[in-house]
């Protein structure tokens, strides 16, 4: 592959893994802090996209499956390009995690806000399950902890639904 082709491929991989380069914004604003908020921006991007998706059914599952495959693959290759495991600029896993948190959740403000908040809570404060899942190799390790956080968040939102309507 030519250098131009490789550069284009790297651009496409990093653009996808960073949810349209949204996670690069904090690196321009706050260059000296380790935690920059890329995960929050990725979660907000996923939350915004989730509003356009059906809450359940074949179309949603098809999109979620496609996003899962793309998330694992692009995270795997983005790690190699960035030379860093679970680099904070890789946020497609947060997009997927928020989508999982929103499966079957009514598309109204409070339930959707709860899905986002619970997902961020379980994504940031990983329990032993999150640390265990993050040890999986390559893109699987990047995505697995967010999938688990999304599943737990979904259960919490479902339990809270009677109070959110």
**pLDDT tens digits, 103-139:** 999 999 999 999 999 999 999 988 888 878 888 888 9
109-124 and 138-164 helices, crossing angle to 10°: 140
165 vs 105, residue with greater confidence: 105
Q: How many domains does the chain contain in total?
A: 1
Residue 111, domain extent = 3-164
Residues 77-101 have a mean pLDDT of 93
Say if residue 63's pLDDT is above 70: yes
Give yes or no for a contact between 84 and 138, defined as CB atoms under 8 angstroms apart.
no
Say if residue 26's pLDDT is above 80: no
Whether the model clears a pTM of 0.85, i.e. scores above it, the answer is yes
How far is 74 from 24, CA to CA, in rounded Å? 16
How far is 96 from 42, CA to CA, in rounded Å? 9
């Amino acid at each position: 592959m030519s250098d131009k082709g490789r550069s284009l491929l790297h651009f496409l991989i990093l653009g996808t893994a960073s949810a349209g380069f949204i996670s690069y914004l904090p690196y321009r604003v706050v260059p000296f802090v380790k935690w920059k908020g890329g995960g929050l921006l990725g979660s907000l991007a996923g939350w915004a996209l989730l509003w356009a998706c059906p809450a359940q059914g074949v179309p949603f599952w098809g999109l979620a499956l496609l996003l899962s495959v793309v998330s694992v693959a692009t995270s795997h290759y983005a790690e190699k390009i960035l030379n860093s495991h679970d680099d904070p600029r890789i946020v497609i896993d947060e997009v997927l995690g928020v989508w999982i948190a929103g499966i079957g959740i009514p598309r109204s403000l409070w339930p959707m806000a709860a899905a986002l908040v619970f997902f961020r809570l379980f994504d940031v404060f990983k329990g032993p399950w999150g640390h265990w899942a993050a040890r999986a190799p390559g893109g699987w390790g990047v995505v697995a902890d967010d999938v688990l956080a999304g599943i737990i968040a979904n259960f919490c939102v479902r339990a809270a639904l009677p109070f959110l309507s």
